[in-house]
């Protein structure tokens, strides 16, 4: 079949993003991934998009993904600000209020856990795709477009990463067109910074030559967890059909609403995020065009913040297989219907 797909978009979903490896496996094995021109996503979807942008064989992509130690992602860390506080005092504070480092981070950086481990990991994976003799890190969106400095001068797919600018209450797309000089690893770190769960990322921006103000960024999923409309403009396609880019394929998770007992601050954060996502889910449910161009993965009851997972363990294998099965089912059943409907729009 002649697959008319140029763009790939991934929803945010924490550890559920492991399922995207199954998606990439199917797409690569069937020659679909190799046809892509652009890839984008939010949070875990942004991580997947970054790996896919390298244009590697699937086995190499999976090998990179499996170097991520999920159990290290939720780091409590230690702040040097507490070095002058006697250990016995720190211990008593922790006994009363909980982990003192997490509390301090929540107050100062608006998140319970550090994202430093993930940031160092994604920087390392990105650097592995560049020829450091031609350019040293950090590597920007502009560098992603410059195949001369890539290993084997291999062209990358165009990469688009979603973030949220908390300071201006706006959604941001980090890419070559909008932020060419931004470090890609930082953009992805922003995109995966689940609000309150992970620390926010701060930048100083100049508003005059002598004055700067701090901007605070967080998870792109706050506003656009499933940016399926990322490429819905004539800039990316000559003809938009019924308001959508028919050459975009999205991948997302099936939504479930049920009662969840809240017994901790982390439980509260998880359910707060699910509440944020509900309005976005309702918008998706009411848009048949988006459903036609979306693969939906059923992840059952696995929590998106269950980082107690390892490559090839039971949960990992389940998610991986669910991603593969959902993609196979889409192309065997849903995709032909999508082509038929779009051909009607085109007057075929």
Q: Which of 226, 329, 297, 310 is nearest to 19 (CA)?
A: 297
Q: Within this chain, do residues 156 and 250 fall inside the same structural domain, yes or no?
A: yes
**Mean pLDDT estimate for the chain:** 90
Of 43, 114, 218, 338, which one is the catalytic site residue? 43
The question of whether 255 is a catalytic residue gets the answer: no
Q: What pLDDT shows up at residue 27?
A: 98
Q: Which of 40, 42, 15 is nearest to 220 (CA)?
A: 42
Q: Is residue 310 part of a domain?
A: yes
Q: Is residue 133 part of a domain?
A: no
Q: Which of 227, 287, 284 is nearest to 254 (CA)?
A: 284
Q: Within this chain, do residues 60 and 82 fall inside the same structural domain, yes or no?
A: no
Task: Tell me whether strands 158-165 and 111-113 are parallel, antiparallel or unpaired.
Answer: unpaired
The pair of structure tokens assigned to 101 is 């480092």
Instruction: Tally Cβ neighbours within 10 Å of residue 204.
Output: 10
Q: Give the residue, 276 or 270, on which the prediction is more confident.
A: 270
Q: Is residue 188 part of a domain?
A: no
Region for 137 from its dihedrals, namely left if φ exceeds 0, alpha if ψ lies in -120 to 50, beta otherwise? beta
Q: What pLDDT shows up at residue 98?
A: 64
The question of whether 219 is a catalytic residue gets the answer: yes
Instruction: Tally Cβ neighbours within 10 Å of residue 278.
Output: 11
How many residues belong to the chain?
Answer: 348
The pair of structure tokens assigned to 131 is 């020829």
| 113-125 exposure pattern, b = at least 16 Cβ within 10 A, e = fewer | bbbebbbebbbeb
Residue 84 has pLDDT above 60, yes or no: no
Residue 53 has pLDDT above 50, yes or no: yes
Total structural domains within the chain: 2
Q: Give the residue, 267 or 18, on which the prediction is more confident.
A: 18
Of 143, 219, 232, 290, which one is the catalytic site residue? 219
Please tell me the distance from the alpha carbon of residue 132 to that of residue 151, in angstroms, as a whole number.
9
| pTM for the whole structure | 0.91
| Burial class, 220, CB count within 10 angstroms (exposed 0-12 / middle 13-18 / buried 19+) | buried
Q: Is residue 179 part of a domain?
A: no
* CA pseudo-torsion sign 272, 273, 274, 278: positive
The pair of structure tokens assigned to 324 is 């593969």
Task: Tell me whether strands 158-165 and 211-219 are parallel, antiparallel or unpaired.
Answer: antiparallel
Q: What pLDDT shows up at residue 348?
A: 40
Please tell me the distance from the alpha carbon of residue 66 to that of residue 313, in angstroms, as a whole number.
12
Q: Within this chain, do residues 339 and 249 fall inside the same structural domain, yes or no?
A: yes
Q: Within this chain, do residues 106 and 230 fall inside the same structural domain, yes or no?
A: no
Q: Which domain holds residue 83?
A: 76-113
Give the model's confidence band at 93: pLDDT under 50 very low, under 70 low, under 90 confident, else very high: low
Q: Within this chain, do residues 280 and 329 fall inside the same structural domain, yes or no?
A: yes
Q: Within this chain, do residues 60 and 81 fall inside the same structural domain, yes or no?
A: no
Give the model's confidence band at 291: pLDDT under 50 very low, under 70 low, under 90 confident, else very high: very high
Number of helices (H), then strands (E), belonging to the chain: the values are: 13, 10
Average pLDDT, stretch 29-44?
A: 97
Q: Is residue 209 part of a domain?
A: no
pLDDT digits (tens, 9 = 90+) for 116-129: 999 999 999 999 99
Q: 127 to each of 72, 123, 215, how far by Cα in Å?
A: 20, 6, 27
The pair of structure tokens assigned to 251 is 């991948």
Average pLDDT, stretch 286-293?
A: 90
Q: Is residue 316 part of a domain?
A: yes
User: How many CA atoms lie less than 13 Å away from 138 in the CB half-sphere?
Assistant: 14
Q: Within this chain, do residues 329 and 268 fall inside the same structural domain, yes or no?
A: yes
């Amino acid at each position: 079949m002649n697959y008319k797909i140029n763009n790939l978009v991934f929803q945010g979903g924490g550890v559920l993003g492991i399922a995207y490896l199954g998606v990439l496996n199917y797409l690569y094995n069937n020659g679909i991934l190799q046809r892509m021109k652009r890839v984008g996503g939010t949070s875990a979807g942004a991580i997947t998009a970054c790996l896919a942008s390298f244009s590697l064989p699937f086995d190499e992509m999976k090998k990179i993904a499996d170097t991520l130690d999920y159990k290290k992602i939720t780091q409590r860390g230690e702040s040097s600000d507490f070095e002058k506080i006697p250990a016995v005092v720190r211990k008593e504070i922790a006994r009363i209020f909980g982990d003192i480092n997490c509390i301090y981070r929540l107050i100062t950086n608006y998140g319970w856990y550090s994202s430093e481990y993930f940031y160092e990991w994604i920087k390392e994976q990105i650097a592995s795709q560049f020829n450091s003799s031609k350019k040293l890190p950090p590597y920007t969106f502009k560098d992603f477009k410059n195949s001369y400095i890539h290993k084997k001068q291999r062209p990358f797919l165009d990469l688009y990463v979603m973030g949220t600018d908390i300071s201006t209450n706006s959604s941001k797309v980090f890419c070559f067109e909008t932020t060419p000089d931004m470090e890609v690893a930082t953009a992805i770190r922003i995109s995966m910074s689940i609000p309150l769960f992970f620390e926010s990322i701060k930048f100083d921006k100049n508003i005059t030559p002598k004055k700067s103000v701090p901007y605070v960024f967080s998870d792109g999923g706050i506003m656009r967890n499933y940016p399926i409309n990322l490429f819905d403009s004539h800039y990316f396609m000559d003809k938009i059909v019924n308001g959508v880019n028919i050459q975009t394929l999205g991948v997302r998770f099936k939504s479930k609403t049920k009662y969840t007992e809240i017994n901790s601050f982390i439980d509260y954060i998880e359910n707060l995020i699910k509440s944020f996502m509900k309005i976005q889910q309702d918008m998706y449910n009411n848009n048949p065009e988006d459903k036609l161009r979306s693969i939906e993965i059923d992840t059952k009851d696995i929590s998106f913040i269950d980082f107690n997972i390892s490559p090839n363990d039971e949960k990992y294998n389940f998610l991986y297989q669910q991603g593969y099965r959902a993609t196979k089912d889409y192309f065997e059943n849903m995709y032909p219907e999508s082509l038929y409907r779009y051909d009607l729009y085109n007057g075929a």
